[in-house]
Amino acid sequence: GAVVSQHPSWVICKSGTSVKIECRSLDFQATTMFWYRQFPKQSLMLMATSNEGSKATYEQGVEKDKFLINHASLTLSTLTVTSAHPEDSSFYICSAPRTGQLLFGNGTRLTVT
Amino acid sequence: QQQVKQSPQSLIVQKGGISIINCAYENTAFDYFPWYQQFPGKGPALLIAIRPDVSEKKEGRFTISFNKSAKQFSLHIMDSQPGDSATYFCAASPNYGGSQGNLIFGKGTKLSVKP
């Protein structure tokens, strides 16, 4: 069935390095995908909208040069956290619309040391 | 105006009891009010949703009550089970289904159902 798959589920990286997170729609196409960030015991905050074939749209306060988004195909969006710092440590979740609702991936736990 | 306020922050209920989580909003342009269930280390999953033209919606043990004039809505979990232990988020969106991603989430309620 239709599922949003996210990879990796967790990643640890050193400060200053870059990390790429993949979001795939399985068994359906998604011209739009959404990236959220969730801090511990906090709510989900929309970071950006990923658009297939065009530039991503970022929410206010989100650095587009730090969080690079590429919607390479109708089933894949990637989020690259560049020059990661400890404050970027968080739970990143993607979602895609499918038949009138949003399907969420299982998230990626990023820890920057 | 964009906030969705959720309470309580945490809730402990005995098995078989009723769990009640409340949310309030300000923006009258919101047209879609979903509830999501999230287990640790997982993404949120849609549980049940309602639109403002309906005062109540029931799906199995889960019921949403919606009060448009008070701008409040709540989730009731009847006959709560240990497997219901999770974090629950209410949300609101001006778009049906939240299909444009512009869901405004509450801060979540951690529910623990004791056996």
Residue with the two structure tokens 């004791």: B114
**Residue B1 pLDDT class (50, 70, 90 cuts):** low
**Taking Cα atoms as reference points, which of A90, A68, A76, A70 lies closest to residue A23?**
A76
Paired sense of beta strands A19-26 and A10-13, if any: unpaired
Question: In one letter, which amino acid is B64?
Answer: I
Set of chain A residues whose Cβ sits within 8 Å of the Cβ of B98: 97, 101-102
pLDDT of residue A40: 81
* Alpha-carbon torsion (A60, B100, A54, A78), positive or negative: positive
**Residue B73 pLDDT class (50, 70, 90 cuts):** very high
Q: What is the pLDDT of residues A63-112, one digit of tens each?
A: 999 999 999 899 999 999 999 999 999 999 999 998 888 999 999 999 99
Whole-angstrom distance, CA of residue A113 vs CA of residue B107: 27
> What is the average pLDDT across B43-61?
94
Residue with the two structure tokens 């999230």: B38
**Taking Cα atoms as reference points, which of B108, B87, B103, B101 lies closest to residue B23?**
B108
Q: How far is CA B99 from the centre of its chain?
A: 18
Set of chain A residues whose Cβ sits within 8 Å of the Cβ of B89: 43-44
